[in-house]
Chains A and B, each alone.
Chain A
Amino acid sequence: MKKLYKEKNKLPLTFKYIEIFKTKNVSKIHSSMVYSVPSEKYQTEYHVREKPLKQLTRLI
């Protein structure tokens, strides 16, 4: 494993079994994406923007 990661020192066996995943942000935008908005009352800038869990109006 230390060879895989080009390390001088030994690594534990757990490094052999690491699952790799892409961190590059998927640039696709869609309406169910998680967005954050600020909220003063809750003292955060990451208040979740989300759709309601039930239909609030049924016009269409």
Chain B
Amino acid sequence: MILIISQNNEITTTEVIKELIAMGKKFHRVHEDEVFEIKVQQKRIVLQSARSIFFLDEITSVWYRRGGLVFKRLKYTHTAINLNMNETQHWLEDYVRKTLESRKHINKESNAHINKLLVLDKAKELGFDVPDYYLAENTCDVEIGNTVIKTINGNVMLEEIRKNKGGFMYTSVVDEHEEGDFFITFFQEKIEKDFEIRAFYLNGQCWSMAIFSQNDEQTKVDFRKYNKTRPNRNVPYILPPHIEGKIQQLMNCFDLNCGSLDFIKKGDQYYFLEINPIGQFLGMSHTCNYSLEQKIAEYL
């Protein structure tokens, strides 16, 4: 049986499930708010929550999509006992998690988020063209107008940054010098691109899409600022074999078998930007008719 670790409200998961059903594959979907107890029945480990119950050994493959497995941790009044039981429970949970991650899988909870800085260093090492990047606490060395800043973490959204308002930290061009110092910020050379490329990688194969965001002022610097009235032109694209080869190497370095990779195309060069291990791919799948949901279901 296939275990899908996801969220209740996740359309991509539902689309993959439709494919699994068509293929006659059994599955169980776990929601983000489930709390599991580890139990044993006739020498077999059982995971049980309010809506789920399954044997650990009946899981043949795991798709980590969102959320995660949450376990109930019992607390004890006696400090020494609590400490001891905490450790015991930790190792049981660890056994369950690692056993599941050792089965056939697409993504893992343990590496669903990766360090962008390490990825860039490794990409450079493997021979990818990477726009010059550096960290800085002030704008002294920054080329104004020719440099962009990005978040170091993967999350560009801040909820409730002000009352009833959220905030997006899109990639932005540094348009003026800043007085004084600030917290370490990630700076990168701005590349005047022909277009961008998003590649979906699964187990050695790549499916790519070209995104023409250049002509639209709104999306020029960060195409995620979607223009709903006149969407960017998105079309299928084929990356050259040497790039796809390096992609596989890079993904292997981080023990990832699935994820989205972003590139900038300028002239004959492909500039690597970043990896997103559990990004959205449904849009690309529909626009380019790649049937990625089917590919995922086939692999599981």
Contacts and interface: CB of A to CB of B under 8 A. Distances in A.
> Within the complex, are A and B direct neighbours (CB within 8 Å)?
yes
Interface of A: 1, 5, 9-24, 36, 39, 41-48
Interface in B130-181: 139, 149-152, 158-162, 164-170, 172, 174, 178, 181
Nearest to A7: B183
Interface in B201-247: 225
Interface stretch (B9-17, B63-71, B84-92): B9-17
Nearest to B9: A46
7 contacts: A15-B169, A17-B169, A20-B161, A21-B168, A43-B29, A45-B8, A46-B8
Given A20-B161, A23-B160, A44-B9, A13 B185 contact: yes
Nearest to A18: B167
Interface of B: 8-11, 13-14, 17-18, 21, 28-29, 139, 149-152, 158-162, 164-170, 172, 174, 178, 181-186, 225
B159 A23 contact: yes
B29 A10 contact: no
A24 B168 CA distance: 15
Given A1-B182, A42-B18, A14 B149 contact: yes
A46 B33 CA distance: 14
A13 B9 contact: no
A24 B167 contact: no
A42 B10 CA distance: 11
A13 B223 CA distance: 20
Given A21-B166, A22-B165, A43 B28 contact: yes
Secondary structure dominating the interface of A = mixed
Given A36-B9, A42-B18, A10 B183 contact: yes
Contacts of B149: 12-14, 17
Contact of B172 (A14, A24, A39): A14
Given A10-B181, A13-B185, A47 B164 contact: no
Given A21-B166, A24-B164, A42-B17, 16 more contacts: A5-B161, A10-B183, A11-B182, A12-B185, A13-B182, A13-B185, A14-B149, A17-B169, A18-B158, A19-B169, A19-B225, A20-B166, A23-B165, A42-B18, A44-B9, A44-B29
Contact of A44 (B8, B162, B186, B225): B8
B131 to A, nearest CB: 17
A47 B9 CA distance: 8
B182 A12 contact: yes
Given A13-B174, A19-B170, A41-B21, A48 B11 contact: yes
Q: Which 6 A-B pairs have the closest CB atoms?
A: A46-B9, A17-B172, A43-B29, A12-B185, A18-B167, A10-B183
A14 B168 contact: no
Nearest to A13: B185
A14 B150 contact: yes
Contacts of A11: 182-183
B18 to A, nearest CB: 7
A9 B183 contact: yes
